[in-house]
Amino acid sequence: MAQDAQAKPAEEKQTNCLGCGKPIKKLKRYYRNGKYFCNKRCWKKSLKTKEEAA
């Protein structure tokens, strides 16, 4: 049993918005594409920066 715990790292919970970096509150979450954002504006901002990088 101890080997199973070592082989599988614990999955970390996302605490900050990927668009602006602010802490995400439980009541105010915007979930898109497997990630959490604080609002729709930050989600669109992250899409825009991803397109510019590509």
Give the pLDDT confidence of 24-48 residue by residue, as tens digits.
Answer: 888 889 999 899 999 999 999 999 9
What the block records as the tokens of 43 is: 């989600």
**pLDDT over threshold 80, residue 9:** no
What's the full length of the chain, in residues?
54
Looking at residue 16, what is its pLDDT? 92
Q: pLDDT band at residue 2, thresholds of 50, 70 and 90?
A: low
Banded pLDDT at 23 (limits 50, 70, 90): very high
pTM value is 0.68
With contact defined as beta carbons under 8 Å apart, do 42 and 14 qualify?
no
Q: Which helix (H) or strand (E) holds 3?
A: helix 2-7
Euclidean distance between CA atoms 50 and 24, whole angstroms: 21
